[in-house]
């Protein structure tokens, strides 16, 4: 009985060793072909600035296409560097899975406004103050127009843009931000035929709050198209101008 038990244990140990050797050899076999690419993009669904065709095209253009290549020849670090050159990609991680799939995890940048100024410049700005070229990419964000530069939009104006993007109501309502030659800020809403006059950018949080209260308490009663402009430029006031007949 003891002899049978010893033989059984020995066979089990031998089988374990053989399986381990086979698995180790298979794991170290870098000639296996890449079986495909699994891409994930951590980005807001409303933007969709990064997609599979774009990513695979960038890899092909830089001779880094993984399809059909041995896993040992895949230059993962180079792939990450190439992908991070794209203006709409913040981070990229490339790694192999156990089933020889190349996994690419991308974090996309989040544009909060598009700038089209009086100088003919046209670019996006994201929520980290990064400037991004348009390059034919259309994103549904407010447009900043008028006397505004890259220095302005990444400086004094940025906090206002971030506040509008972070507020559910204002993000849905504002379609354009205009800066006049005197530095006065005008907001163009999607709903209503009026202009919202903020004045300068000082204390804009309080100004937006006054506008929101006015919208909430008055606009439904008096109508959205009664006024040509609504100004909160002066502290503690909401000044409305009617359309001239």
Of the residues 53, 87, 108, the one at which a domain ends: 108
Say yes or no: 94 and 143 in one domain: no
User: 115 with 101, same domain?
Assistant: no
pLDDT of residue 241: 86
Which ranges in 41-167 belong to alpha helices (H)?
52-61, 76-83, 150-154, 158-166
- My answer on whether 62 and 181 are in the same domain is no
Token digits for 2?
A: 């003891």
Question: What is the count of structural domains for the chain?
Answer: 2
The answer on 115 and 104 residing in a single domain is: no
Q: Are residues 101 and 143 in the same domain?
A: no
| Predicted local distance difference test score (pLDDT) of residue 15 | 53
Query: How many angstroms separate the CA atoms of 118 and 136, rounded?
Result: 20
**Domain assignment of residue 63, given as a range:** 36-108
Looking at the fold, whether 100 and 120 belong to one and the same domain comes out as no
Of 55, 86, 108, the one marking the end of a domain is 108
How confident is the model at residue 188, as a pLDDT? 96
Interacting residues of 178 by C-beta distance below 8 A, sequence separation 6+: 144, 145, 146, 185, 186, 187, 188
pLDDT at 225: 79
pLDDT < 70 stretches in the chain: 1-30, 44-48, 220-221, 245
**Per-residue confidence (pLDDT) for residue 14, from 0 to 100:** 54
Name the pTM for this structure.
0.77
- If asked whether residues 124 and 235 sit together in one domain, one would say yes
Please indicate, yes or no, if residue 116 is contained in any of the structural domains: yes
The C-alpha atoms of residue 233 and residue 212 are separated, in whole angstroms, by 14
Residue-level pLDDT at 137? 77
């Amino acid at each position: 009985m003891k002899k049978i038990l010893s033989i059984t244990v020995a066979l089990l140990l031998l089988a374990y060793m053989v399986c381990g050797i086979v698995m180790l050899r298979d794991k170290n076999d870098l000639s296996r072909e890449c079986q495909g690419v699994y891409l994930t993009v951590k980005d807001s669904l409303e933007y969709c600035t990064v997609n599979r065709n774009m990513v695979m095209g960038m890899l092909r253009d830089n001779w880094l296409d993984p399809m059909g290549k041995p896993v040992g020849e895949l230059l993962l670090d180079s792939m990450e560097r190439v992908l991070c050159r794209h203006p709409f990609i913040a981070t990229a991680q490339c790694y192999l899975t156990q089933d020889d799939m190349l996994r690419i995890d991308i974090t996309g940048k989040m544009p909060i406004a598009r700038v089209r100024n009086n100088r003919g410049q046209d670019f996006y700005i994201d929520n980290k103050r990064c400037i991004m070229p348009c390059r034919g990419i259309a994103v549904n964000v407010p447009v900043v127009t008028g006397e505004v530069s890259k220095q302005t939009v990444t400086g004094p104006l940025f906090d206002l843009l971030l506040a509008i993007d972070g507020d559910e109501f204002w993000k849905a309502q504002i379609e354009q931000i205009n800066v006049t030659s005197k530095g006065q800020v005008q907001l163009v809403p999607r709903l209503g035929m009026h202009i919202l006059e903020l004045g300068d950018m000082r204390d804009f949080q309080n100004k937006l709050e006054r506008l929101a209260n006015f919208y909430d308490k008055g606009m439904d009663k008096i109508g959205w198209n009664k006024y040509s402009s609504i100004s909160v430029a002066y502290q503690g006031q909401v000044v409305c101008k009617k359309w001239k007949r």
